[in-house]
Amino acid sequence: MGVFGNEDLSSLPRNELRFNKHVHDNVHGNIYLDPLCLKFIDTEHFQRLRELKQLGVTNMVYPGAVHSRFEHSLGVYWLAGETVQRLKTFQGMELGIDNHDLQTVRLAGLLHDIGHGPFSHMFEREFLPKVISGCQWSHESMSINMIDHIVDTHHIDVDAQMLKRVKDMILASTKFSELKTNAEKRFLYDIVANGRNGIDVDKFDYLVRDSRACGLGCNFQFQRLTEPMRVIENEICYPAKEYRTVHKLFATRADLCRTVYTHPKKMAIELMIVDAMVKANNFLEISSMINDPSQYWKLDDTILKKIEIASDPELAEAKELILRLRRRQLYQFCNEYAVPKDKIDHFKAVTAQDIICSQKHTSLTLKEEDIAVTNVKIDLTRGRENPLEW
């Protein structure tokens, strides 16, 4: 029997009321949520992540891939905290790690994806460049704006210095050189988004979570790195004997890129959704929301359904594309070409115009708008460099 009360509990201290709250995650088991992070989780802005699929439209090819950025963010929060706790246990006195550091890294892990747009990376890489010329927007920068908006809207009492460090940790993958020289306890900035070598808990979580959701095997075990890691000269280091585990990390990521992230059908569906959103943009003013957190948080994957069921004639073309998608009348995948290794350094990205210019004279003549070309680069993480030599 379930018992629910309607009494007012607002007078009780939030820390006492919900101190022991936890959720059960299908990757990490029980995840215990600390009071400060709960204040961010229990907002409409963070709950929005439930409506953002971690892999965008991949579930239309791999039906089980319906996991959200909400659960991924909880997973990164948990791994980030466990990582700092382990370092504190073994080197806490030496490194000066305190509870303030632990809370900061947890919060960075929790909020690192709060600025993501609909349909995973498609929103910023494919849609925005088509509707805003020279667009420099990024979900990392939006995450920073969203954090400030959440704090202001919900009057969350959080230390200003902690909040600044949280933002820097989220931007660590893009501002590595700046943080490397300026940050105290630089190793803490490698945990959530590592711009130094790409080994971070964000990858630890999504590689295992994505593989499981898609029904694929994953022989990468992040525990083999998190358990023996130590900080040496302000950098997180791993035993030399785990070099194969590090290689598996990047090899697993590359394999997921080939088999899941760049699956031809999935990319065809993405192109159709991008075209539908472009056609709907002027009427729905989608792109106008990207600089205003108070509007942006309302934007998620449900925008597809909003277009699909709308009666406005201005959305007719967009609706037709979505109807084609529902009926599996997808854009046709024509061909792919793997660039030889000895030519890759000087290879120029192929454009639709290149295809048009090279077609032979036949009864069917393609126009540039009939063709979509996707140039995909898959490597271990830093071009042709060996990650084991960094």
Catalytic sites, residue numbers: 139
Helix ranges (H only) for 285-312 are 293-296, 303-309
**What is the distance between the alpha carbons of residues 200 and 192, in angstroms, rounded to a whole number?**
5
Q: Look up residue 53 and give its DSSP letter.
A: B
Q: Which amino acid is at 44?
A: E
* Torsion, CA 250, CA 251, CA 253, CA 259, rounded to 10: 170
Structure tokens at 311: 């009666």
Is residue 230 a contact partner of residue 82, using CB atoms and an 8 Å limit? no
Identify the three-state secondary structure at position 377.
coil
In 3D space, the residue among 205, 257, 221, 218 whose CA is nearest the CA of residue 58 turns out to be: 257
Structure tokens at 288: 């106008």
Cβ-Cβ contacts under 8 Å for 16 (sequence gap 6 or more) = none
**What is the distance between the alpha carbons of residues 205 and 200, in angstroms, rounded to a whole number?**
9
